[in-house]
Amino acid sequence: MSHIITPDICDAHPQVEVLDPIFVNCGGPDAFYGPIRTVKCFEDNSRIKEAVAEPGEGAVLVVDAGGSTRCAVLGDMLAEQAAGNGWAGIVIYGCVRDIDVLAETDLGIQALGTHPRKSEKHGEGQRDVDVTFAGVTITPGQWLYADNNGILIADDRLPLEN
């Protein structure tokens, strides 16, 4: 994967959208990018579990968990499964848990924060729908670029310099 620096991407591609700076880096890689797939859920990670069980093919899973800070929708087992299935990263508008293990996982992860309580599993939520949070509407098929500086959304894959 090419090394990315989001400030440089913003300078070269001013049309990109920038998510509000509310996320923290929780995964192993500091930077990641890929085509977007989405999940919309609230305190139920059933659809996330379905998605990470499938081949990621370098995609980034963008999860609108409603901004909930009452439980985590991603933990070590799902993160390790996502990494093993070729996902580049996961961005969660919600919380994660097992932070020490996530930091050692070969998966880019950004979330609002951490919470020790697991989510419910009732099979609720939607996949591959537009989601809106952090000031941006995100559509499956767009591209996400993330590092410690922030998270960017582009309509198409951007040419990156190595």
Residue 98 annotated as binding site:
yes
Q: What is the CA radius of gyration of the chain?
A: 14
Residue 117 annotated as binding site:
no
Residue 128 annotated as binding site:
no
Residue 44 annotated as binding site:
no
Contact 1, 23 (CB under 8 A): no
Residue 100 annotated as binding site:
no
Q: From residue 150, give the alpha-carbon distance in Å to each of 55, 126, 129.
A: 26, 26, 23
The 10 Å Cβ neighbour count of residue 64 is 23
* Buried b / exposed e along 117-155 (16+ C-beta atoms within 10 A): eebeeeeebeeeeebebbebebeeebbbbbbebbbbbbe
Residue 77 annotated as binding site:
yes
Annotated binding site: 75-78, 97-98
Annotated binding site for Mg(2+): 98
Annotated binding site for substrate: 75-78, 97
